[in-house]
Amino acid sequence: MSQTLTLSPFELALRLGDDALTLSHRLCEWCGHAPTLEVDLALSNIGLDLLGQAQFFLNYAGELEGAGRDADALAYHRDEYEFKNCLLAEQPNGDFARTIVRQLFFSTWQTLRFQELAQSSDKNFTAIAAKALKEVTYHANFAAEWVLRLGDGTKESKRRVVDGISWSWRYVDELFIGEDAALRPAWEAIVRAKLAQAGLEPPAPVRGITGGREGRHSEHLGHLLAEMQYLQRSHPNAQW
């Protein structure tokens, strides 16, 4: 059955591309700093997967816009208020536990989102989502395994993962705005089950922090973009 999109295809492609782009940048900040070489490689590879997704979605957004902008132009030549990523994706990494919890929450949402998008009547979205599903399923499983290890580990590792859950939970509501609202029951069931396996519980309900989808971001995105866009802003259209 085809998915009916309530967002315009351009807005949807931009959102999904911006989500993947910002979180990719965050994960690649772990390169050389993760707890083990294996985890270092895993986080970097997840970041690269997301970067590939960002390129596909932003290139398609550029086609739909029809203004001559490709993925590079959309990534490197927009200002902060023009980005439509969710706030969760742009948050600083914090410690390893916080990064892992963020990844569990985000990748579980991505998996459900792409499962629906793979049934879209838009063949471009279908193709991108079908390819990305294998990647995000791995991302979610990787994060869930680490949540289990941390929650079922030492007192310190459990404390840190509990702190990561509390930090990240404030940004969950924004994942389920508009047409994504229908995904929340399935997301909650999966996440609660994964947390329960680790002897963990979600925090008490809190007032969600939103705004990223409308271009109202935390101060962290500006710093991220300043680093990510520096070369292109300093030397427009530079080529190696």
Q: What is the DSSP string of 18-56?
A: HHHHHHHHHHHTTTTTSSSHHHHHHHHHHHHHHHHHHHH
pLDDT of residue 235: 87
In the structure, what pLDDT confidence band is assigned to residue 238 with cuts at 50, 70 and 90? confident
Q: What is the DSSP letter of 208?
A: P
- pLDDT tens digits for 162-181? 999 999 999 999 999 998 99
pLDDT of 2 strictly over 80? no
Q: Please, which pLDDT band fits residue 119 given cuts at 50, 70 and 90?
A: very high
User: How many whole angstroms separate alpha carbon 181 and alpha carbon 185?
Assistant: 9
Q: What is the pTM of this model?
A: 0.95
- pLDDT band for position 240 (cuts 50, 70, 90): low
Q: What's the rounded mean pLDDT across residues 1-27? A: 86
More confident site: 235 or 18? 18
Question: Helix, strand, coil: what percent of the chain each, to 5?
Answer: 70, 0, 30
- Residue 13: predicted pLDDT: 98
Q: Are 224 and 22 in contact (CB under 8 A)?
A: yes
Q: How far is CA 166 from CA 76, 117, 151, 200, in A?
A: 32, 29, 14, 11
Burial of 166 (0-12, 13-18, 19+ CB in 10 A): middle
The whole-chain average pLDDT of the chain stands at 95
In this structure, which CATH number among 1.20.1260.10, 3.30.930.10, 3.30.1330.40, 3.10.129.10 belongs to the domain 9-200+215-234?
1.20.1260.10
Give the type of residue at 70.
Answer: D
Residues near 114 by Cβ (< 8 Å), separated by ≥ 6? 129, 130, 132, 133, 136
pLDDT at 64: 98
What pLDDT was estimated at residue 10?
98
Beta carbons within 10 angstroms of residue 149's beta carbon:
13
